[in-house]
Structure 1
């Protein structure tokens, strides 16, 4: 493995998301190449500011489809069917994840419907099944970056993994794009020479393929005109444009843009993603793909701060798990590095394994420049940046400079564990969220004070903010001690049915007007951990992105009515939330069935196709089902229930035992070893109308 593997992974994944964010505003077809040029000229920075950048299909796919390595291909190479199962498990039908443009129009939508109808991969994405045009659209190369990241210095293996993943939805030239980019990403771990990287990608596809031919045409043009990328773009329009390669977004013209931007960017990360954006067509896909390659090749030092800082180490996504949809990039880089060691069959460094956690939040600030999405409420008084000057453990910390504050002046320093629609500028790909921090959990951090001026040392108070009311629950103040590390620990308070969307400290000055407080604090070893115990009050929830907070809905019509979450559906439907990696817990739900025969609670749900569902199941009966790519009844019992009446359900999963009680009476108990962690939620297997309220989740 490369000695700097983790850092290169981090820069590559950052590079992908920078490219996506840069290219996304000019992706819609109304933004022609000419319009981009006349409006923005020579692009040298983001063209649009966002409150927070909403989800994007180019980020969803590389994250969620890679989970095939956990679910099915745990000890072997992946197959197209492994990745197909990830498609079905982690996508919500018709919303989020990718572009649902219609069967026979959107390649991904077409492949998904094929899979749902029982057409297995790779037939689901084949030319035979879908025709040449659908099979050769760009999606074959836009969801595959992570397969290259987990196979460093092994272009052939990376290409083979990328091809297996791409064959779920693509064929022909569309699959060759996956091979090219996975190989290029893999090669970038061992060289920064862009010519070598491009050749490594081309070595993994047939020399007589159209993909290779358009790439060679670009390289030949560059050899004759090395300083004029726009002339090369004109050549692509003339010889390889959308008029010749049709469909919504064909891979061949965009392959030309990708090779163009890399060769004219000449190994410079920033210029490469800028050129990819200026060239038009599928701008976020192209800038994202080349951003991964150049992010790995150039490393963190090659990424300009103007591009890195707005990312702030965080992205959001729109898969079925609201918990995983809030992604910390340094933490995910560690996860990818662990997977990379596993696939290479080499021991993983012990410190790397110890520093990674799925269930909890742990920010160690060890990766160069990492900030872990820690934010400042008042940039007039405070500025935050990564530092290697002080650390409680390891080499890194977060430095927060406070500048001339006087008694009563404050700034919050916080992590954002939950989002609502108001946090975003738009609704790209309809993200959904489940809280990463909840009542009952503990928060801890180490804080070092280096005060330069003022007649009183600074104080801090732990706090949380509630997402709907914006009420801040501030705990007692602690005076910091100059030149000492102070351990701060507190329990997240009862949020009384709301969700927590800020967790951190209030930094307050105590100095009088002369001299003012000036200096800095260093934060290290930031954790949110332990068992959650919280309630969901639907009087305090919102309807956001087509879902009721904090749930991700899969089918059905869901709304807020009379203090309840109301479901009306003509088909099987589910709503999921909670920590994806929660193991032992109980869920209490008050349920009022209005019509239909199926009214269920889901536990240890690992997606749309995996989990347990228990509850009313036909006249005078309750049943427990396991969903493992198809529902199977595990147990049932008699229970006389009726429509229009409130029932208090309580489902407890502990070890391999599931217990189901109604109104305090145990009605069903069963043991099963299939799933040992997962989300919770509510569901139905048939047409139904149901009210759900008074939900409580308690980890054991």
Structure 2
């Protein structure tokens, strides 16, 4: 039975997971031992590092992307391990992002990925038989499973079964027991405030004689005799169950002990639990992330302290092949996961929830308690408070309050959202995220503001977008919101001449004198971006960052910027992707110069690396329209005399089930196919290639 506060609890669990990951990440390297963490950071009570923006982490990537098997394959049937294996191949770019590419027989995930590529299906891809016992029992079996527990509130067996199927892609033995244990703990946390009940739920779904169960019982027994000193328990764990006894890069058994230790000594307090998990050392971000989900669900939103929640600001980046899906807004993701949970549990979702999920659009309503949807201000002195509020609301239970303080002529502060990110906004590289802009030229922005001004001349708001290439702000017509009432505003996103937009929002100003300064609160009740996007991509205004050329995510090949063009060289098949993942009507055109190789193609309706259409130059004297669905099928081909070294203006139009390929303005190919109804766009080759791509123009519309 889905609980009444299901969305809020998922939100708390997902927040808790990411707080734990962020807290533990800086002290994850093996050199940060238990003793060194203690000596340097002491009794941890807050983040040990402040990030400008926390970069992608495998602990977050897995819970976000592996469950997409339920959207792509297991839609009207039970999940199978191979469904999740297909999600691995479809969303992970080879050798970059998603998880740790530490080498075959070193990284369990890298090894499993290579097995899948070789045609070894899950669960054999992660089995002891194929990979050996040590490799199969590393920690990844339990760190990617949080979403499965969130999908099945109170149903420990179902959560454990699905978590095991997902984990079996890469793990076996105790690696699977860890997945089952953690998922059951999360599911149980929806219906209890007792840590003992949660741990017993985890034990109930794994073999009683397993090593995993034994380490859990050992920590429980030590805690019963020594309930005050978590460090004494850690020393006991290290002596009996430590890394010297369970080898490999990061074995599951010692870390399982830490998770149980943290939950017991944390005594149901969210903050203390993730802090203890981090102070113990070993795989700190994984352990703090897992217990953060459990305690987030158990403690709820009110149990997560503001000093841990505020820096997260409802946002993380992920590192899949879809830059659009990589921008993860917590309230939106939580609502989407809740809708999926209702479906998986055979229950009807509340109508209000369904209306608040608008795939392919940016829709922020501040309905969830404390939600900010990643909004920021640029001048903390003039806008010192940015917070969720229930004081003034419209169409939801909340709004975003911005307190402006003593604005005078010449002062300003921006209230804005970031639909795109650059490398400069991160402290480190980690799992190398990629970004496709959530908002582009031609789309319509609507918002609702409530003004409560206490003194001063009227506040004015000026809509703007920022060009990430020049850093210039493109401003539109200013307006003055009505004081004491809601003001609805609409504007169209302006063009930025081939550059990407990385900020969108409003400039707050007031023509107030020093003796009558503008002070008050501005409430943003709704922010909605919808409609068709039409824009250019000028490669002279793009950048090579995080291993990819903006705004694309590249899979295989060497992609560089050269003389204002995108230059691709590859010894194998390769591809690059951008755009709205949910776009239905797509027009993409580019000037393509084939230099070597026989395959120079535009991509449309891409739902991942293994699911999309390709159209273009396909062999000597030929053009084709090809469907890629874990294997290629040429749907139609035609003769076309093309030559290396010449430029071709290629355009693909995808409209419903009808597709057209134009070259130099001539329609050279038509095709009908209804297999993929929406997706990204991009460029690809089915074999060794060298080419140049320039002057890209795109039209996308969510249908």
TM-score after normalising by structure 2: 0.99
- Structure 1 unmatched runs, 5+: none
Secondary structure (helix, strand or coil) at the match of 1:211 reads helix
CA distance in 1, matches of 2:59, 2:649: 42
For residues 118 and 595 of structure 1, the distance between their equivalents in structure 2, rounded to whole angstroms, comes to: 29
Aligned residue for 1:88, secondary structure, equals helix
Report deviation, 1:397.
Answer: 0.4
1:277 aligns to what SS in structure 2? helix
Whether contact under 8 Å (2:455, 2:517) holds in the other structure is yes
Write the distance in 1 (CA, Å) between the matches of 2:332 and 2:618: 41
Pairs within 5 Å for 1:569-580: 569-580=570-581
Residue 635 of structure 1 pairs with residue 668 of structure 2 = no
Residue by residue over 1:209-254, the C-alpha shift from the partner in whole angstroms, topping out at 9 and shown as x without a partner, is: 1001000000000000000000000001100001110000000000
Distance 1:414 1:228 in 2: 46
Distance 2:700 2:92 in 1: 26
1:629 positional shift: 0.3
- Please report how far the alpha carbon of residue 623 of structure 1 lies from its aligned counterpart in structure 2 after TM superposition: 0.8
Q: What are the superposed Cα offsets for residues 481-526 of structure 1, whole Å, 9 maximum, x if unpaired?
A: 2112111110000110000000100010111111111101100111
Q: Deviations over 1:570-620 (max 9, x none)?
A: 000000000011001100111000011000000001111000011111111
Report what 1:173 is aligned to.
174
Counterpart Cα distance in 2 of 1:65 and 1:583: 23
- Determine helix, strand or coil for the equivalent of 1:446: strand
CA contact (8 A) 1:550 1:577 kept: yes
Q: Aligned partners of 1:606, 1:524: CA distance in 2, in Å?
A: 33
Cross-structure match for 1:597? 598
Q: Distance in 1 between matches of 2:674 and 2:85?
A: 24
CA displacement 1:387-425 (0-9 Å, x = unmatched): 000012222100000011111211000010000101101
Q: Does 1:447 align with 2:461?
A: no
State the partner residue of 2:211: 210
Inter-partner Cα distance in structure 1 for 2:515 and 2:256: 62
- The 5 Å alignment of 1:14-25 reads 14-25=15-26
Matched, 1:31 2:32: yes
Task: State how far apart, in whole Å, the 2-side matches of 1:468 and 1:345 are.
Answer: 48
What is the rounded CA distance, in whole Å, between the counterparts of 1:10 and 1:679 in structure 2?
Answer: 27
Q: How far apart are the structure 1 equivalents of 2:296 and 2:369?
A: 14
Residue 611 of structure 2 corresponds to residue 606 of structure 1: no
Residue 523 (structure 1) aligned with residue 505 (structure 2): no
Instruction: Say whether residues 1:389 and 2:400 are aligned partners.
Output: no
Aligned-residue CA RMSD (Å) = 0.6
Q: Deviations over 1:459-489 (max 9, x none)?
A: 0000000112111001111122211211111
Q: Does 1:402 align with 2:407?
A: no
Equivalent residue number for residue 617 of structure 1: 618
CA contact (8 A) 1:77 1:161 kept: no
Matches within 5 A, 1:245-256: 245-256=246-257
Partner in structure 1 of residue 588 of structure 2: 587
Q: Provide TM-score, normalisation by structure 1.
A: 0.99
Q: Is the 8 A contact 2:432 2:546 kept in 1?
A: yes
Corresponding residue of 2:92: 91
Where 1:62 maps in the other structure, the secondary structure is helix
CA-CA distance at 1:29 after TM superposition: 1.2
Partner of 1:426: 428
CA distance in 1, matches of 2:501, 2:425: 14
The separation in 2 between residues aligned to 1:608 and 1:526, in whole angstroms, is 32
Task: Tell me the SS of whatever aligns to 1:94.
Answer: coil
CA shift, 1:661, in A, is 0.4
SS in 1 for 2:324: coil
State the distance in 2 between where 1:655 and 1:373 align: 34
- Residues 179-190 of structure 1 aligned to structure 2 (within 5 Å): 179-190=180-191
Q: How much does 1:33 deviate?
A: 1.3
SS in 2 for 1:669: strand
**SS of 2:515 mapped into structure 1:** coil
SS of residue paired to 1:340: helix
Superposition deviation, residue 357 in structure 1: 1.1
3-state SS of paired residue (1:384): strand
C-alpha distance in structure 2 between counterparts of 1:611 and 1:481, whole Å: 48
> Is 1:565–1:693's contact at 8 Å kept on the other side of the alignment?
yes
Where do 4+ consecutive residues of structure 1 move more than 4 Å? none
Partner of 2:679: 678
Cα deviation for residue 358 of structure 1 reads 1.3
**Does 2:214 match 1:196?**
no
The offset of 1:666, in angstroms, is 0.2
8 Å Cα contact 2:182-2:290 kept in structure 1: yes
Matched pairs, number: 699
Q: Structure 1 residue 34: deviation in Å?
A: 1.3
Match of 1:665 in 2: 666
Structure 2 unmatched runs, 5+: none
Do 2:580 and 2:700's aligned partners in 1 also have CA atoms closer than 8 Å? no
Cα distance in structure 2, aligned partners of 1:181 and 1:11: 16
TM-fit CA distance, 1:650: 0.5
